[in-house]
Amino acid sequence: QKTTGGDDRVIGVCAVRSNKVVFCTTAQGRTHELSYDGKAGSELSIVSTTQTALVAEGEEQAPSQRAIGANPAGDTLLISQGSTVNVWKYNKGNKKALSKQGNIKTEEVHQDDIRDVMFSPKDGLFLTCDDGVLALWNLNTGKLITKCRPSDSTAAAKSPVKLKFRGAMFNSDGTQLLTAASGAKGGYLTTRGVSKAADWTAKAARDRLVTPSPITSVDLSPLREGSFAVGTAEGEVCVIDQKSLSCVCRLEAHGMPVTKVTLLTSGDCFSVAFDNNCALTCTKKHIEVQTRKGMLAIVFVLCLLFVFLYLFYALLASYAPPKALSPEL
Q: Could you read off the pLDDT of 249-290 as tens digits, one per residue?
A: 888 889 999 988 988 877 788 888 888 788 888 776 554 444
First-to-last alpha carbon distance for the chain, in angstroms, is 103
Lowest mean pLDDT among 57-61, 111-115, 308-312: 308-312
Lowest mean pLDDT among 36-45, 82-91, 181-190: 36-45
269 part of a folded domain = yes
Structure confidence at residue 285 (pLDDT): 56
Q: Is residue 112 part of a domain?
A: no
Query: Is 54 a domain residue?
Result: yes
Q: Taking all residues of the chain, what is their mean pLDDT, rounded to a whole number?
A: 83
Mean predicted confidence (pLDDT) in 216-222: 83
Q: What pLDDT score does 329 carry?
A: 45
When divided into structural domains, the chain yields a total of 2
Nearest to 220 by CA among 267, 255, 271: 271
Q: Is the pLDDT of residue 177 over 60?
A: yes
Percent of the chain with pLDDT over 70: 84
Q: How many CB atoms lie within 10 A of CB 216?
A: 24
Chosen domain end from 58, 85, 104: 104
Of 43-47, 147-151, 232-236, highest mean pLDDT:
232-236
Residue 310 domain-assigned (yes or no): yes
User: pLDDT > 90: what percent of the chain?
Assistant: 36
The residues facing 87 across adjacent strands are 78, 102
Predicted local distance difference test score (pLDDT) of residue 143: 95
Residue 278: the pLDDT is 85
b/e string for 76-104 if b means 16 or more Cβ within 10 A?
bbbbbbbbbbbbbebebeeeebbeeeebb
Q: DSSP letter at 290?
A: H
Order of strands, sheet of 246-252, starting from the edge strand that comes earlier in the sequence:
215-218, 227-232, 236-241, 246-252
Which range, 52-56, 92-96, 292-296, is most confident? 52-56
Note whether residue 150 is domain-resident.
Answer: no
Which pLDDT belongs to residue 131? 92
Per-residue pLDDT at 76? 94
Comparison of pLDDT for 94 and 70, the residue scoring more: 70
Determine the pLDDT at residue 165. Answer: 92
Tell me, yes or no, whether 11 lies in a domain.
yes
Angle 259-262-266 (CA atoms, 0-180°, nearest 5)? 150
Last residue in a domain, options 86, 104, 122: 104
The predicted pLDDT at position 205 comes to: 61
> Does 65 map to a domain?
yes
Write down which residue in 51, 76, 104 finishes a domain.
Answer: 104
- Judged by phi (left if over 0) then psi (alpha if -120 to 50, else beta), residue 128 lies in beta
Instruction: Note whether residue 328 is domain-resident.
Output: no
Q: Which domain does 49 fall in, by range? A: 1-104
What does R_g of the chain's alpha carbons equal in angstroms? 26
Q: Hey, which residues does 273 pair with through a beta bridge?
A: 258
pLDDT at 156: 62
Rounded to two decimals, the pTM is: 0.78
